[in-house]
Amino acid sequence: MFFEFALIGTTASGKTSLANALAKEFKAVILSLDSLCVYKEINIANAKSSAQTLKELDYFGVNLLSVCEHFNVALFIKEYEKAKKIAKEKNTALIITGGTGFYLKTMMQGLSANIEERQSSLSNDEIYHLLKTIDPQFKIEKNDTYRLRKWLNIYESCNEIPSEFLKRTRKKAVIEELLIYEIIWDKELLRKNIQKRTQTMLKNGLIEEANHLFKNFNPSLKPLNSIGLKECKSFLKHEISFNELEYLINTHTAQLAKRQRTFNKKFQSIPLEFDKAFEILRQKLKSFS
Binding site as annotated, residues for substrate: 11-16
DSSP string across 115-132: ---------HHHHHHHHH
CA atoms within 13 A on the CB side of 98: 25
Strand-strand pairing, 3-9 and 179-184: parallel
Annotated binding residues, written as ranges, equal 9-16
Q: At what angle do helices 242-263 and 229-236 cross, to 10 degrees?
A: 160
Distance CA 147, CA 161 (A): 15
Alpha-carbon distances of 246 from 43, 206, 226, rounded to whole Å:
18, 11, 15
- Please name the helix (run of DSSP H) or strand (run of DSSP E) that holds residue 161, with its range, or none: none
End-to-end CA distance of the chain: 6
Annotated binding residues for ATP, written as ranges, equal 9-16
Instruction: Report yes or no: 31 and 122 within 8 Å, Cβ to Cβ.
Output: no
Instruction: Report yes or no: 63 and 81 within 8 Å, Cβ to Cβ.
Output: no
DSSP bridge pairs for 30: 59, 95
Instruction: Report yes or no: 212 and 42 within 8 Å, Cβ to Cβ.
Output: no
**3-class state of residue 172 by DSSP:** coil
